[in-house]
Chains A and B, each alone.
Chain A
C-alpha cells in the first residue's frame, strides 16, 4: 500500500533529531510538524522572519502581524525570535538551518530539483525555494513518486526549469525512501506492501537496489 500524505510526513519526521532547526515548505512538508516525536526538541524556521513556529492559533489568537511563509496565521512558541528577511536568509545561507523539507515537481539522479515553474502555466515565482536548496545542509524532498498521469517524477534529467542543482540528498515518496548517490537513486526503504518491482517501474532514472530493501516503519 502506498503512503498517503500523512504517511510521507510521518516517515520524514523520523529524520528529525533533537535540537534540529528545520525549515518546512508548503504542502506535505508542513504536515511533518504534526509528527515531531514526543520529547524531541525541534525548532521550526519560517523564512519571513520567525524562528520557533508554534501551532495554528485559536480564532481569538489570530494576529495579522504573525504569519508563516505560506501567509497563514500562526503562533510563536515560548523562546521564539523574530527578525527581518535579510537576516532570515542569512541564517539559511550561512548554514545554520539543519534540515529543509520541500516539495518538488521533479528530481534528477544528480540531485537537481525542479519545483517552481511549469512553462505555459502561470508563473508565480520561486519565493525562497532557490535560496533554501542552494544553502541548507540537508535537503529532503517530499513528493508523490509519479504525477497525476502516472509519469515518474524521479528522472535522469529534470525537464522543467530548475530550482537548484546537485542539492537533494533524500527523497521520501508515497512508494519509497530514496537517496541520491553517485550513479543514481539508491533505494533505501519500501512503503509497506510495495515491491521493489513496483518502485522500479515508477522510477524513470536509474534505481540502485542493493540486497534486501526493508519496509518503512510508519
Chain B
C-alpha cells in the first residue's frame, strides 16, 4: 500500500475549481506550505476553503486570496489580512464565521460519521440563526452539522509511506481533525520515512485517513508574532 506521491503538484491532482478544500493549521503554524504554493500556481478557482484562519497577505491562504482563487472562506478568525478585508468588504469573497471549538468539532464529527450534534457555544448570539435549539441538563444548546470536504490538506512533522502521521507541538491544531474529514486527504510532511519506522504508540493520525503523502521541501515556517521575554 504505497500512498507516496512525488510532490505537491502530483498531490493536488484532482482538485477542481468550485471544490471544497480544508486546510490544517492555526495562523501560520502547521500549514501545508507546499500544497498551498502548488495551488497558488495552478489555475484552479472558486474554491470553498475551510481553515481556522486565512493566512496573512503574502503567505498561507493569503496567497490564494490574492490570486482570487477562493470564493468562500469558512473560518473562526480572519484578522491580520488586508486583502481578505478588501475582498470581504467589496463582496468578492463570501465569509462564514464559526466559533473555533464548533468548527473543530464539526470537522471531527464529519470525519467520524456524526451528521449533527449539540453545543452551547453561540446560543443567544447571531451564530444561533435558524438552528434547532434543545435544552440538555437545563442549558440551551444549538444543533451543528458535521463538516467534510472534497479534499483535506494537512501538514505533519513525520509521516510514513502508509500515511501514518505525527504532528509537532502546537502545529497539530486543526491538522488532526481535518485529516479525517477529506474524501481525499493529502499529507505533506517534513520527514517521510518507510513504514515501520514510526513508533505506533505515537501516531496521531492513523494511515487509514490519508490517501496521498509526500516529502515536503523548503519549509519557511514563518512566525506571525515573534515574541520574546525581555
Contact = CB atoms under 8 A, between A and B. Distances in A.
Report, as a range, how many residues of chain A touch the other chain: 35 or more
B90 interface: no
B214 interface: no
A62 B169 contact: no
Interface string A70-109: 1111101000001111101110110000000000000000
Contacts of A173: none
A85 B30 contact: no
Contact of B100 (A62, A67, A89): A89
A28 interface: no
Chain B binding surface SS class: loop
Nearest to B125: A162
A130 B176 CA distance: 22
Contacts of A93: 101, 105, 119-121
B201 interface: no
A129 B104 CA distance: 14
A84 B124 contact: no
Contact of A47 (B79, B100, B121, B122): B100
B163 interface: no
B75 A125 contact: yes
Chain A binding surface SS class: loop
B176 A86 contact: yes
Interface in B85-133: 85, 88, 97, 99-102, 104-105, 107-108, 119-127
B79 A73 contact: no
A48 B120 CA distance: 20
Contacts of B221: 64-65
B123 A126 contact: no
B175 A128 contact: no
A66 B224 CA distance: 11
Contacts of A157: none
Contacts of A68: 170
Contacts of A62: 223, 226, 228
Interface string A108-146: 000010000000001111111111101100000000000
Contact of A135 (B29, B120, B204, B222): B120
Interface in A34-49: 46-49
Given A48-B29, A72-B227, A82-B170, A122 B100 contact: no
Contact of B225 (A71, A92, A125, A161): A71
B227 A131 contact: no
A57 interface: yes
Contact of A86 (B75, B105, B120): B105
Contacts of B88: 123
A165 interface: yes
Nearest to A54: B229
Given A72-B225, A134-B121, A86 B172 contact: no
B99 A130 contact: yes
A48 B119 contact: no
A72 B75 CA distance: 19
A59 B101 contact: no
Contacts of B123: 134, 164-165
A66 B125 contact: no
Nearest to B120: A134
B173 interface: yes
Tell me which of A56, A83, A84, A126 has the highest count of chain B C-beta atoms within 10 A of its own C-beta.
Answer: A84
Contacts of B177: 84-86
Contacts of A71: 26-29, 80, 224-225
A109 to B, nearest CB: 15
B49 to A, nearest CB: 14
A47 B26 CA distance: 10
A74 B227 CA distance: 7
28 contacts: A49-B26, A64-B171, A67-B170, A68-B170, A71-B29, A71-B224, A72-B224, A72-B226, A73-B227, A73-B228, A82-B170, A82-B172, A83-B172, A84-B177, A85-B172, A86-B101, A89-B101, A89-B102, A122-B85, A125-B76, A126-B127, A130-B102, A130-B121, A130-B125, A131-B99, A131-B119, A134-B122, A161-B125
